[in-house]
Structure 1
């Protein structure tokens, strides 16, 4: 039995995929929103302002939102931790424009994944979570503040979702 080694040791792990660095081009947000029904438009605007995952948005209930405090409590998130996120004035405006539903959900009955994918396909756009995270940094938030909003646990993961534009950095440098 001496010649037999562990065959698992001979298996190579696949290389990690190339990180996406996709950001919305100047006309794409308008084009995407133009492809959306009113509810999906509200969801996308809310997602851009909060950086929330589709599942978090889908589960969000009115009882989890504090309009006075400008916060939303996210329960049992993707990483299994609750967090409270701040809501911008634009996110609050989106919420104030929504009808209240008897089941308490902000966006009831909306298949976000299917609707979003279809709208993005029509507008030729792929991902918005990277966009929201990058916009938080462009607003001047620091990594700790952004991770508190997005729920990223490590700086490495936060960096993976952040793609600052070189031309914007050049303007900041003067």
Structure 2
């Protein structure tokens, strides 16, 4: 059969695919492909984890769709989010594609193409909430009407985080874009910030509001040329710490207020646990909030230029106007 295929010119050798382990393929992919990517750190971490998996000992030629299906199910049972598993499968799929196209393994089939992908519904509609809150000040319960940004800023341990949060809501910039913003790319007279390289690989200009300009003017000049000193990871941690402290203070004030009204403790606990204020809020939700606010000012085609979305369908995942605000526009 092999001789006939060779005579017909259709024979494809499987020796290379049979001799190459998945672990070796991962190592070669990391060297030739991942190292060329701008955001290589997360993918390298994913590759290192896969190299410790039993599947890494198998040859590429021996891996079947059933193996990928078991891998998918196991990872989901381990508690990984469906979106994370999809990214892992996408990485494996690309490794097989590169092996077939560039590593002389034309006989390989892609086992990932034969299985179902985990369904993902990661669209978020989280907006900044406002609430009437009871807060302890000097041992006295004070009644205030605050939104989540105000109370998070109040309990932030980082002096720069409140400025970064406000700047994010004013500009709809991503966390990495804010931390990478350089003073040489900011024109305060024209109120424009240039982002030379963004997540989607292109540059874009961001119009700056008066408040955004005020924040940039308040920042000290840095030797490295960056506007903000914080790094992405430190922002995430500072934001989580501020939310935790703010939520504890909010829950304590609410609990004391309800106790004064003679409400039983079990009902107080249920009330606090069911309260969405300061719950499930992420820093990236500030971009959602900013996009929704900007959508009230700019038409959709202009909004894409500000936020950097190349697909209006993707933009709609971030645009979440309040229904009551839409109702006000009706006669």
Q: TM-score, normalised by structure 1?
A: 0.89
Q: Which has the higher contact order (CA 8 A, sep 6+)?
A: 1
Structure 2 residue aligned with 1:147, among 304, 320, 329? 304
Structure 2 residue aligned with 1:89, among 206, 210, 224? 210
Q: Find out whether 1:119 has 2:253 as its counterpart.
A: no
Q: Distance in 2 between matches of 1:121 and 1:113?
A: 12
Residues 54-99 of structure 1: per-residue CA shift (max 9 Å, x gap)? 1011111110100001000002111111111100111101111111
Alpha-carbon shift at residue 102 of structure 1 (Å): 1.9
3-state SS of 1:160 partner: coil
Farther off after superposition, 68-77 or 109-118: 109-118
**Counterpart for residue 224 of structure 2:** 103
Q: Find out whether 1:34 has 2:154 as its counterpart.
A: yes
Structure 1 residue aligned with 2:169, among 42, 48, 51? 48
Q: Answer whether contact 2:292 2:320 (CA < 8 A) is retained.
A: yes
3-state SS of 2:295 partner: helix
3-state SS of 1:69 partner: coil
Name the Cα RMSD after superposition: 1.7
Q: Answer whether contact 2:160 2:230 (CA < 8 A) is retained.
A: no
Q: Distance in 2 between matches of 1:155 and 1:118?
A: 34
**Counterpart for residue 89 of structure 2:** none
Unaligned residue ranges in structure 1 (runs of 5+) = 1-5
Alpha-carbon shift at residue 153 of structure 1 (Å): 0.8
| Greater helix proportion | 2
**Counterpart for residue 77 of structure 1:** 198
Q: Find out whether 1:167 has 2:287 as its counterpart.
A: no
Unaligned residue ranges in structure 2 (runs of 5+) = 1-63, 66-110, 131-146, 247-277
Q: Answer whether contact 2:187 2:193 (CA < 8 A) is retained.
A: yes
Structure 1 or 2, whichever has the larger Rg, is 2
Q: Find out whether 1:133 has 2:256 as its counterpart.
A: no
Farther off after superposition, 53-62 or 36-45: 36-45
Alpha-carbon shift at residue 10 of structure 1 (Å): 4.8
Residues 140-167 of structure 1: per-residue CA shift (max 9 Å, x gap)? 2111111111111111100001100001
Structure 1 residue aligned with 2:115, among 8, 11, 18? 11
Q: Distance in 2 between matches of 1:24 and 1:64?
A: 30
